[in-house]
Amino acid sequence: MKNMVLIVAGLLMLGNWEARPQNKVDFVKEIQPILQKSCVECHGPEKQKGKLRLDSKEATFKGGKDGVVITPGKADKSEVYRRITLPAGDDDVMPNKGDVLTKAQTDLIRDWINQGAEWPDGAVLASVAKKDEKAEEAKAVEVPKLPDYKPSAAELKAISKLESLGVAARPIAMNVNWREINFRAQGADVLDKALLPLKDVLGLVDLNLGGTKIKDADLANIKGLINLNRLHLENTPITDAGLVNLKGLAKLNYLNLYGTAVSDAGLKQIEGLANLKHLYLWQTKTTEAGVANLKKSLPNLDISTGAEFKEIAKKEEKKDEKKEEKK
């Protein structure tokens, strides 16, 4: 039955798609993920290869060391399109490491440029969060403010267990025992094995599970990490049910739920986190009403919803609805 519903929903979406004029490419849904995955690593906040950044509208249209890289309306005159369609192995091909883009991807970029290369104002790739992170990290590293922390024997054992799995629990600054762990580049099998020792790393202040396969039930293992300050759960299968485990993380300051199935019910679970200052909800199932409700409990919380994109999406939907009515 569930499958049936999915299939029907899929068909409806297809119908919708075809009703759109000449398959207009949707920057946020179709182009942004490509740039994010294949380009921003070298053309973003960390590195600006060829003096080019591709993470914001302003930077992208400013171009790189050789000038403009996208000419709206003219893919064949655009350096970006030329670079991504070069044969693998060419000196100039982009991305210049790893796999070349697929034909489907380069066609999307071509159509997007030919349709005017619209980039909604405010659509900034990873860098928003990243920049924030940097500022936060700079703050976190102000060591003198950190109270002393002495890990227990069990914690030290857990840390070496993690190390043997290839997971580094790194001190966040010199001569301190507060630690951070990043699972982003780890395989699912490593994560599975690491969950148990993770429980004992009570000095953990920064945990990045973004992009991993972490499940709701797994979050029970971080329930007791009461010193946790920053938690990345973006782009994971986490849902409302998992957030129940965050209730006791009283020091949590930063929580990223971008790209998860979390809804208003999940927000209810975190409304007691009095120290939460930054929450990312872009591309979740939360609603304006749910966000407003959370704001009531946590007035100082800075919530990033990407509302501007939802507005755009709504307008598109309305247009499509009207078309349907005319039929």
Which parts of this chain interact with ligand HEC (CB under 6 A)? 38-39, 41-43, 49-50, 52, 54, 63-66, 69, 79-80, 83-84, 92, 94-97, 101
Report in angstroms how near the CB of residue 172 gets to ligand HEC at its nearest: 28
Which residue, 103 or 145, has its beta carbon nearer to ligand HEC? 103
Measured distance CA(98)–CA(87) in Å, rounded:
13
Which residue, 27 or 254, has its beta carbon nearer to ligand HEC? 27
Could you give the C-alpha distances from 194 to 28, 50, 61, 238, 311, in angstroms and in order? 34, 39, 43, 18, 41
Residues 6+ apart with CB under 8 A from 33: none
**Do the beta carbons of residue 127 and residue 36 sit within 8 Å?**
no
Which residue, 90 or 324, has its beta carbon nearer to ligand HEC? 90
Report in angstroms how near the CB of residue 37 gets to ligand HEC at its nearest: 9
Measured distance CA(220)–CA(201) in Å, rounded:
14
Which residue, 69 or 291, has its beta carbon nearer to ligand HEC? 69
Which residue, 83 or 179, has its beta carbon nearer to ligand HEC? 83
Report in angstroms how near the CB of residue 33 gets to ligand HEC at its nearest: 11
Whether the ω angle into residue 95 lies within 30 degrees of 0, i.e. cis, is yes
Report in angstroms how near the CB of residue 216 gets to ligand HEC at its nearest: 33
- For the four alpha carbons of 226, 228, 231 and 236, in that order, the dihedral sign comes to negative
**Do the beta carbons of residue 265 and residue 240 sit within 8 Å?**
yes
Q: Which single residue is written with the structure tokens 């790393």? A: 201
Report in angstroms how near the CB of residue 38 gets to ligand HEC at its nearest: 4
Q: Tokens at residue 284, please? A: 């979740």
Which residue, 81 or 280, has its beta carbon nearer to ligand HEC? 81
**Do the beta carbons of residue 272 and residue 280 sit within 8 Å?**
no
Name residue 84's amino acid: I
Name residue 177's amino acid: N
Q: Which of 221, 242, 222 is nearest to 230 (CA)?
A: 222
Which residue, 50 or 248, has its beta carbon nearer to ligand HEC? 50
Report in angstroms how near the CB of residue 107 gets to ligand HEC at its nearest: 13
Burial of 293 (0-12, 13-18, 19+ CB in 10 A): middle
Report in angstroms how near the CB of residue 64 gets to ligand HEC at its nearest: 3
Residue nearest to ligand HEC (CB): 64
Report the 10 Å Cβ neighbour count for 103.
Answer: 9
Q: Which single residue is written with the structure tokens 């039955």? A: 1
Backbone angles phi, psi at 123, to 5 degrees: -75, 100
Q: Tokens at residue 219, please? A: 């979050």
Which residue, 77 or 157, has its beta carbon nearer to ligand HEC? 77
Which residue, 60 or 283, has its beta carbon nearer to ligand HEC? 60
